[in-house]
Structure 1
């Protein structure tokens, strides 16, 4: 297990000291997770700070250590420990009220640590009971070095692989998309990969997975982004891409308000402006790996059609309430009936 840590951080520990430290930390972690499954951990004062510490990149214990500990212990109450861990992580990661839809399922590859498991849950590595997303292969891992390694040798930078040739993106936030007739809908699942866009004549619909924003959100995403830069992390940069995509849509408090009104974003953090600032800060300095380039290209294609903007603006200006729609339908019906009456009326003298 020594190889899971950078040499400079473990050189002061001999085998006995390191094994003792990992054993104590692992036992505390497993006991905390087991008890966390019996109570609402977020309603216990100050316990949420412990949860945040469990998912800091620098605090990760190799999953193999946890497995050695719980395989040697027989928990007679509740779920088997491995499923308890998955349940705990999915409760942490999923929007409130949706985590109960998770069906516990064996993963194809043993996670590196809890942060890796949390990332997998958010991206849909576990199957939903109410929906059946397509099976996706586990992303390839870049190397055998641990995510706990620090320094430049422990990181990789996706934008250094070559010059990016992204699409010409002219839209900047949700309000601009609305002006072009593009509307938001919640996705079928709460997995972060479940993003899609479809265009129908002069209307377009962008589907985004529901997400809860709370005090843990910023820390959670920053640590997963940092993990994706590590050499042994899955080589897909999915969380980084999601953050960049959402940052393209959120610029002001009005954008957050629109997401809330469509039941896509649940704000447990503060004001809408505070939420907008979270994504602006998380994405600061990131370069988009362009996983969602096809979705952006379809949005841009729809956005570039000026007729869509004109029609959307006309609908917004003249049909903002059901009364105006009813008045318009009534006027059209009256005109139609008048024409019919005129056509069938007997000729005058």
Structure 2
């Protein structure tokens, strides 16, 4: 269960909207209507098999019962259901998930039915509190889909949904994982998290002090550009132009960063990934680090506008202020120990605090923040030039020796 310190900032990010998976939200009255839809998906999966329904269900039950203690220990909260009830729940939920995902993978639009149900269910399958152990999915997959589709793998069936919910659309997620060692995955959410891992990323401690926002960096000469074809989806790099044989930089530094698609579900995806990082042992805080970096870059709607203009953000949720509030809300009450952009942030901070950068930023803030200031500046320059010319002609009139 997600602790109240995180839940209170946006409870809807952790609560299933359409279907309950596993025991934690099983009694939610708002989700009872979908139980019939789940049963229909289970029946659809059983019909794909040549054997009788009873034989398949018995095989599934044996798989689950063999691991019932391990399944029960996967949940931090005490489970009120006995072993028989829990086993039935695992079989039904796993069969539903596999049939739902298989229909999406095969694009069986005639079977998918209500698109709102499909959309909400895809995101419900990512919620930290709405998971079943991956070993259950593996066992039921062996008893069902692998019997009638010899070319399919469990990872292949899950992958299209991970692509759909991925908020970094420019970067294609890894389509292949270590298929021989899938048992190290905890659940579907952990599988998505693995897509953002990078073995060469190095973390450091970074003080949570005031960092210049995107607009402030822009005024100091920093530009922003979206990353393309990178090995790590969360990459952020600072590109500096340097003159040959000189150590100092010239021109505009550029922060290369992933394009983030902000829609109605972006907060849900990021928050559940962060909650998984916060409360799981031996899970590296890649998403938390990225969200902290974005929180430092974004203070106001002007920062969102600048990043949208630079094409490193795509805002589908309405106003820029809503997007800024969403980014600033993601990391509230979040403890962070890893920061993977330490060197880049130090480099940007050094550039921002440099003599020329600070003065350029001051000029742009003072004189170039609106058209009237520009007109006033040009008028002042023209007046100064005319005054100098007038003084020259006064001191040395035309035609004088």
Q: What is the rounded CA distance, in whole Å, between the counterparts of 1:5 and 1:106 in structure 2?
A: 25
Cα distance 1:211–1:22, how it changes in 2: closer, same or farther (>3 A)? same
Q: Deviations over 1:82-138 (max 9, x none)?
A: 312123212321544x46x445222366321111111222x156xxxxxxxxxx279
Q: What is the rounded CA distance, in whole Å, between the counterparts of 1:229 and 1:182 in structure 2?
A: 32
Match of 1:178 among 195, 218, 224: 218
Q: What is the rounded CA distance, in whole Å, between the counterparts of 1:195 and 1:43 in structure 2?
A: 39
The residue aligned with 1:330 is: none
Deviation of 1:224 (Å)? 1.2
The residue aligned with 2:122 is: 51
Q: What is the rounded CA distance, in whole Å, between the counterparts of 2:316 and 2:163 in structure 1?
A: 18
- If you compute each CA radius of gyration, which structure gives the higher value, 1 or 2? 2
Q: Does 1:112 align with 2:186?
A: yes
Q: What is the rounded CA distance, in whole Å, between the counterparts of 1:176 and 1:138 in structure 2?
A: 27
Q: Deviations over 1:22-41 (max 9, x none)?
A: 11011111111111221688
Segments of structure 2 that go 5 or more residues without pairing to the other structure are 1-70, 242-248, 371-401
The residue aligned with 2:164 is: 91
The residue aligned with 1:291 is: 340
Deviation of 1:172 (Å)? 3.0
| Range moving further from structure 2, 244-253 or 181-190 | 181-190
| Large movers: runs of 4+ above 6 Å | 39-43, 312-318
The residue aligned with 1:65 is: 136
Q: Deviations over 1:42-74 (max 9, x none)?
A: 992343222222111111111110000111222
Segments of structure 1 that go 5 or more residues without pairing to the other structure are 126-135, 140-163, 321-349
Matches within 5 A, 1:32-47: 32-37=100-105, 38=107, 44-47=115-118
Q: What is the rounded CA distance, in whole Å, between the counterparts of 1:43 and 1:267 in structure 2?
A: 26
Q: Residue 34 of structure 1 contacts residue 81 of structure 1 at CA under 8 Å; is this kept in 2?
A: no
Q: What is the rounded CA distance, in whole Å, between the counterparts of 1:43 and 1:255 in structure 2?
A: 38
TM-score (norm 1): 0.71
The residue aligned with 2:268 is: 219
TM-score (norm 2): 0.62
Cα distance 1:70–1:267, how it changes in 2: closer, same or farther (>3 A)? same
Q: What is the rounded CA distance, in whole Å, between the counterparts of 1:206 and 1:42 in structure 2?
A: 44
| Range moving further from structure 2, 299-308 or 177-186 | 299-308
Q: Residue 187 of structure 1 contacts residue 209 of structure 1 at CA under 8 Å; is this kept in 2?
A: yes
Q: Does 1:301 align with 2:350?
A: yes
Match of 1:255 among 300, 303, 306: 303
Q: What is the rounded CA distance, in whole Å, between the counterparts of 1:92 and 1:225 in structure 2?
A: 15
Matches within 5 A, 1:125-274: 136=199, 166-167=206-207, 169-189=209-229, 191-200=232-241, 201-202=249-250, 203-234=252-283, 236-274=284-322
Q: What is the rounded CA distance, in whole Å, between the counterparts of 2:290 and 2:117 in structure 1?
A: 29
The residue aligned with 1:26 is: 94
Q: Deviations over 1:323-348 (max 9, x none)?
A: xxxxxxxxxxxxxxxxxxxxxxxxxx
Cα distance 1:94–1:225, how it changes in 2: closer, same or farther (>3 A)? closer
Q: What is the rounded CA distance, in whole Å, between the counterparts of 2:140 and 2:364 in structure 1?
A: 62
Q: What is the rounded CA distance, in whole Å, between the counterparts of 2:308 and 2:227 in structure 1?
A: 14
